[in-house]
């Protein structure tokens, strides 16, 4: 990837199937991409990453570009997603996050008391703090040479808040949830601060060349319907609205937006009306059920169980066919119900991608 200074003059897009599906237009085949498609399941990824600290990699536009392109050299995917991490946003707020081998990301000083909110930057200049992500997007958009669209992303406020308080992964999110019950006002203050930064960050990604945006509410499943209504949904809605109005103001393209709230079936109806063109689904809901709840006006994305990729290739083909029959081939983007795991076989990922294309073309013909 060679660095191109001017963000304008991007190469013409050759395969817009993903964007058409996201906007609800007709497609010849069902587009497919995978969450965590740039990842440790690829030997070339492990090789590229070997010498570098994880967040140092995230801060290198050249390495992010290389890692984003790797899966596209192997598989006929219909979209690329920029290599980055959701925790760059808490870093932009002034928190320190380190990647601990075998453990994952850890915050050196998580938020413990309400007073700790004062340590966070209250005004974030996203270009100063996260400009390296924008550079990676611009560079990658040029390097893709119009092959497929490039997706930008961010974590959603509740998911980021939960990491900032837990200090890392957690099975219960008890510390973060205790804030929601004990300190509702402070929780809203933090969520609002995050929502504002995320809005600017997503708009900056579009300015840099992102052609679609995904918001990851990965920890939605730790909340019940009431807490989701209070502490997650309002900010998810606000972000969609604010991003769209800022894109208009700045005369930037109105790109499709995807909301992926893992394990939030209880909120699918609300999410379908939250201002996003696409609603992502995890693997724990039947396609027909998801369609019934979300209605005709949004595109669905998902939802093969990632572990299905451990099955023999023929079986993957059967599961994909069944999934396509359940969702229908239109207003649909095939994906997994969560990200790829490090020990998955690239050949099986390839079988998944090819099965989506082959079966959806066949269904469309007949």
Euclidean distance between CA atoms 191 and 194, whole angstroms: 5
Catalytic pick from 40, 74, 189, 361? 40
36 assigned to active site: yes
Q: Which of 274, 276, 294, 278 is nearest to 286 (CA)?
A: 294
How far out from the chain centre does Cα 98 lie?
Answer: 21
How far out from the chain centre does Cα 233 lie?
Answer: 17
Catalytic pick from 36, 141, 147, 331? 36
73 assigned to active site: no
235 assigned to active site: no
Catalytic pick from 41, 163, 201, 276? 163
Euclidean distance between CA atoms 262 and 191, whole angstroms: 18
DSSP letter for 308, please.
G
Q: Which of 100, 260, 90, 237 is nearest to 161 (CA)?
A: 90
Catalytic pick from 23, 85, 132, 305? 85
Burial of 282 (0-12, 13-18, 19+ CB in 10 A): buried
163 assigned to active site: yes
Partnered with residue 152 across adjacent β-strands are 213
Catalytic pick from 16, 20, 49, 237? 49
141 assigned to active site: no
Q: Which amino acids are annotated catalytic? A: 36, 40, 49, 85, 163
């Amino acid at each position: 990837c060679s660095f191109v200074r001017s963000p304008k003059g991007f190469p013409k897009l050759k395969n817009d199937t993903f964007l058409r599906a996201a906007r609800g237009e007709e497609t010849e085949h069902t587009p497919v991409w995978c969450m965590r498609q740039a990842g440790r399941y690829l030997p070339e990824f492990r090789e590229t990453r070997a010498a570098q600290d994880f967040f140092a990699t995230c801060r290198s536009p050249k390495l992010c570009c290389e890692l984003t392109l790797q899966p596209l050299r192997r598989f006929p995917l219909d979209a690329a997603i920029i290599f980055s991490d959701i925790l760059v946003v808490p870093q932009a707020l002034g928190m320190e996050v380190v990647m601990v081998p075998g453990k994952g990301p850890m915050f050196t000083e998580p938020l413990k008391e309400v007073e700790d909110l004062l340590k966070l930057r209250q005004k974030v200049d996203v270009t100063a703090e996260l400009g390296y992500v924008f550079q990676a997007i611009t560079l990658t958009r040029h390097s893709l040479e119009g092959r497929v669209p490039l997706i930008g992303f961010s974590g959603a406020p509740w998911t980021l808040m939960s990491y900032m308080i837990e200090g890392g992964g957690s099975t219960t999110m008890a510390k973060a949830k205790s804030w929601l019950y004990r300190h509702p006002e402070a929780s809203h203050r933090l969520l609002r601060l995050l929502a504002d930064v995320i809005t600017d960050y997503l708009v900056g990604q579009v300015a840099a060349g992102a052609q679609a945006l995904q918001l990851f509410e990965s920890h939605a499943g730790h909340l019940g319907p009431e807490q989701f209504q209070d502490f997650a949904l309002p900010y998810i809605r606000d972000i969609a609205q604010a991003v769209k109005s800022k894109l208009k103001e700045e005369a930037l393209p109105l790109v499709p937006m995807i909301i992926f709230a893992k394990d939030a079936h209880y909120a699918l109806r609300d999410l379908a009306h939250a201002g996003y063109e696409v609603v992502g689904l995890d693997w724990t809901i039947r396609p027909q059920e998801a369609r019934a709840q979300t209605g005709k006006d949004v595109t669905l994305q998902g939802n093969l169980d990632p572990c299905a990729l451990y099955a023999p290739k023929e079986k993957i083909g059967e599961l994909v066919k069944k999934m396509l029959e359940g969702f229908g081939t239109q207003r649909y983007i095939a994906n997994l119900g969560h990200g790829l795991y490090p020990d998955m076989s690239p050949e099986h990922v390839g079988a998944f991608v090819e099965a989506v294309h082959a079966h959806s073309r066949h269904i469309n013909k007949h």
